[in-house]
A and B are shown apart, each in its own frame.
Chain A
Amino acid sequence: MVKPTRVTNSIRALRFASGEMTQADLADRVGVTRQTLIAIEQGRYSPSLETAFRIARVFGVPLDDVFQYPDPAEEKP
């Protein structure tokens, strides 16, 4: 069954906090296409663990600061 990804991210905020880094710059530094970076930022694509670590390394922050996964307990009303 096709499910939407539940992974969220803070890439946009981190880019702006890093001197308004462009998507193209970040994509270059991570080694992915600009379209892939846009898809990741918009939550349309969950990157591989390696790509996720490379993104976190560019910003110099832990992985958890870039990507978040909802806690099942928080989702239940």
Chain B
Amino acid sequence: MTHWEKRSWIRLVVAALGYAAYLTLILSRADERPLATVPYAAALLWTVGAAIVASILAEVGMAAGTPRASRLTDDRDREIGRLGDHVGQSFVVAGAVGAMLMAMADWDHFWIANLIYLCFVLAAILTGVTKVVVYRRSLPEW
């Protein structure tokens, strides 16, 4: 497994676990009251921050745990990186458009912030899945 492939796995797993932790926290706070009234901002910021720190620590741990592993990156790594980012970008756009429409329709801040967060997470997951699948199979020739 190349260095970049391991990084893709780490980011994929951290994105999924981070969002699962956030969702668990919010749903446990809801306790039969409307979701839109649940305090979410601190939990959202903490889980995003924790996910970034966890990613960095996991990458540092991976590097320390395999000191002799090659850090070389080549054209294929860069092409796979670009393809993954390109595929994941669709969810970022969908989140932005959705949030814009919800703001115009006067939706509650809770739903707007959560739609944006969900789309960021889906973008990260789709990006990660695309990269690990392409690493295992082959880059498509368009």
Contacts and interface: CB of A to CB of B under 8 A. Distances in A.
Interface in B118-142: 135, 137-142
Interface of B: 1-2, 5, 70, 72-77, 135, 137-142
Given A44-B137, A48-B75, A51-B74, 17 more contacts: A1-B142, A2-B141, A4-B138, A5-B138, A31-B74, A32-B75, A33-B73, A33-B74, A34-B70, A35-B1, A35-B5, A35-B76, A35-B135, A36-B74, A36-B75, A44-B138, A47-B75
Given A33-B70, A35-B5, A35-B135, A2 B76 contact: no
B138 A32 contact: no
Report the contact-size class of chain A (Cβ under 8 Å from the partner): 10 to 19
Contacts, number: 50
**Dominant secondary structure of chain B at its interface with chain A:** loop
A21 to B, nearest CB: 18
B76 A33 contact: yes
Contact of A5 (B2, B5, B141): B141
**Dominant secondary structure of chain A at its interface with chain B:** loop
A44 B70 CA distance: 22
A3 B140 CA distance: 6
Interface in A22-67: 31-36, 39, 44-48, 51
Nearest to A42: B138
A32 B72 contact: yes
B141 A51 contact: no
B138 A39 contact: yes
17 contacts: A1-B142, A31-B72, A31-B74, A33-B2, A33-B72, A33-B73, A33-B74, A35-B1, A35-B2, A35-B76, A36-B76, A36-B77, A39-B76, A44-B137, A44-B139, A45-B138, A46-B141
